[in-house]
Amino acid sequence: MSKMIDLRSDTVTLPSDKMREAITGAKLGDDVFGEDPTINELEAKAAKIMGKEQGLLVPSGTMGNLVSILVHCQRGTEIILGDKSHTFMYEAGGISAFGGIHSRQLKNQADGTINIEDIHFAIRTDNVHFPKTAAITLENTHNLCNGVPLLPEYIHEVAQIAHNNNMKLHIDGARIFNASVAQTLDVAKLVIDADSVTFCLSKGLSAPVGSIVCGSGEFIYEARRIRKALGGGMRQAGIIAAAGIFSLDNMLDQIKEDHQNAKQLVEGINQIEGLSIDHENIKTNILYFDIEKGKPRCDELSQQTQNIDIYPFEIQLDNIRFFESQPSRFRLVTHYGITGDEIEKTLLVLGHMLK
Ligand SMILES: Cc1ncc(COP(=O)(O)O)c(C=O)c1O
């Protein structure tokens, strides 16, 4: 049987043999006592790369965002976020469930930004009727907006507005390295104005588990307490951190290849009659494409999708797996383990999606 080509997400990556060796050889200790040397090394390395004072290993990107927002926002305060942001859409409402934080969702533009005017307008004045606006989050790259990278000038402008209004800026940088590679910019430049950033080791960097939160020493001190309260204080998690160190040392070049593979997909899909794609604006490893209105699906696709009422819905055509994210809109994500030949194979299969 031919190998499954899994383009559902970059979270499906498996550790390489060398990464597994790094895991096996990791020096361990109890991290809740601050004694795991591998975690300490990873956190220091991540902080240095991000240009921040300290880092903190957390089990997931979701926990990284939650911990950061819980540090920035007191109960009953408000946070501004995009209506397509991962934190608003896919983090189980954690900021409101565990933090009592009111979310103010503003429209995400196709380029992943929130309109600057909308941000100004949303910041509350001091009035007994209103919650205080305590923070804003940006997502870079923006998952639901074609994996678009945000420009540093835009981030700077948002940070200035936040800081002028006594608010904090958090960046959900689950894929911040994709943003830095796409713009050939040092990643630290993309987060220089942020009070905190979360990035994931377990996506394009292909580690099995883990994300890192970075910020000032004072911020990380509080973040560590909240991580503990959420049950995220891990003991000999140097096992995980060893993979993270390997990722930061060895996997950044892979991201370039992932972007190249995505570009090849975009160009191919753009040539397929009946499919449409925003081919000029896809710059990283996530892409969405649509079936044009009125075009009939091939039998294999329509059999799988005839009774769908829940999205995203998982599709398998031949040995290619991906998501239908909304009706007639599909997502593909390139990542470590996907070869150029497999991209060609994927395009052949997509070429037969329609009748
Ligand atoms: C933009 C973004 N933020 C945060 C997360 C959450 O990461 P995790 O799945 O590790 O909780 C994801 C996951 O896909 C994501 O795409």
**Average pLDDT of span 238-243:** 98
pLDDT at 309: 87
Is the per-residue pLDDT at 268 higher than 80?
Answer: yes
Is the per-residue pLDDT at 118 higher than 90?
Answer: yes
Q: What are phi and psi of 238, to 5 degrees?
A: -60, -25
Tens-digit pLDDT profile for residues 25-42: 999 999 999 999 999 999
The structure's pTM equals 0.97
Is the per-residue pLDDT at 241 higher than 90?
Answer: yes
Cα 352 to averaged position of ligand 1 atoms, centre (Å)? 31
For ligand 1, is residue 78 a contact (CB within 6 Å)? no
**Average pLDDT of span 155-165:** 98
**Average pLDDT of span 50-66:** 98
Rounded Cα distance between 106 and 132, Å, is 16
Residues 6+ apart with CB under 8 A from 18: 246, 250
Tens-digit pLDDT profile for residues 101-111: 999 999 999 99
- With the most atoms of ligand 1 within 8 angstroms of its CB, the residue from 203, 230, 285 to mutate is 203
Is the per-residue pLDDT at 1 higher than 70?
Answer: no
Percent of the chain, pLDDT > 70? 100
Query: DSSP string spanning 180-235?
Result: HHHTT--HHHHHTT-SEEEEESSSTT--SS-EEEEE-HHHHHHHHHHHHHTT---S
For ligand 1, is residue 200 a contact (CB within 6 Å)? yes
Report the candidate in 226, 214, 240 with the shortest Cα–Cα distance to residue 45. Answer: 214
Tens-digit pLDDT profile for residues 251-260: 999 999 999 9
Token readout for 318 is: 């031949």
Residues 6+ apart with CB under 8 A from 320: 5, 7, 345, 346, 349, 350
Identify the helix (H) or strand (E) that includes residue 24.
helix 17-24
**Average pLDDT of span 51-72:** 98
Is the per-residue pLDDT at 304 higher than 70?
Answer: yes
For ligand 1, is residue 172 a contact (CB within 6 Å)? yes
For ligand 1, is residue 179 a contact (CB within 6 Å)? no
| Confidence bin at 192 (pLDDT 50/70/90) | very high
In terms of DSSP bridges, do strands 211-215 and 78-82 run parallel, antiparallel, or are they unpaired?
unpaired
Cα 25 to averaged position of ligand 1 atoms, centre (Å)? 28
Q: What are phi and psi of 13, to 5 degrees?
A: -60, 145
Q: Whose CA is nearest to atom 5 of ligand 1?
A: 61
| Confidence bin at 2 (pLDDT 50/70/90) | confident
